[in-house]
Amino acid sequence: MELGEWSERVERVSAGYGDYYGVERTPEWTLLKLTEEVGELAQAHLALSGQGRNRGKSPDELRTDLEGEVADVLAMVLVFAGRAGIDAEVALERKWLPWERFHAERAAGGDPTPPGAIEERR
């Protein structure tokens, strides 16, 4: 599935959540919900890595929890981006792919200029 399709589908789920629970999904709510999910991801990681309470769960259950929290964070990033008018796929291409080319040129023995280096010097 393409990232754009994921964005549309998770937006529909989020809209249904808001409707079901009577939550007004403002831009602030969306960002705070993303922040909440990142906290839950950290908690799941700490539990799985033995640095937090495991709440009596097995390693497999803790791994499943971690996977679920990764899904929640990814979904809320897509919801936040979409509601902010950001095409996540375009944003990734603009921000990350220049670095992919930079590192490929370096690996081939070149001496490329880092992306954004000219703008950063201004």
Structural tokens at position 72: 């929640």
Rounded distance, CA 113 to CA 56, Å? 51
Structural tokens at position 86: 């950001």
The number of distinct structural domains making up the chain is 2
Residue 98: domain span: 87-122
State whether 35 and 68 are in the same domain: yes
State whether 48 and 108 are in the same domain: no
State whether 76 and 107 are in the same domain: no
State whether 25 and 64 are in the same domain: yes
State whether 59 and 70 are in the same domain: yes
Q: Which residue has the higher pLDDT, 32 or 116?
A: 32
The CB density around residue 65, as the number of other CB atoms within 10 Å, is 20
Identify the CATH number of the domain in which residue 69 sits: 1.10.287
State whether 50 and 73 are in the same domain: yes
State whether 100 and 48 are in the same domain: no
Q: Tell me what percent of the residues of the chain surpass a pLDDT of 70.
A: 96
- Under the banding of pLDDT at 50, 70 and 90, the label for residue 116 is confident
Rounded distance, CA 23 to CA 32, Å? 13
> Can you give the pTM of this predicted structure?
0.86
Handedness of CA 78, 30, 54, 48 (dihedral sign): positive
State whether 81 and 101 are in the same domain: no
State whether 1 and 58 are in the same domain: yes
List, for residues 59-91, the tens digit of each pLDDT value. 999 999 999 999 999 999 999 999 999 999 999
State whether 116 and 76 are in the same domain: no
List, for residues 28-37, the tens digit of each pLDDT value. 999 999 999 9
Rounded distance, CA 7 to CA 87, Å? 9
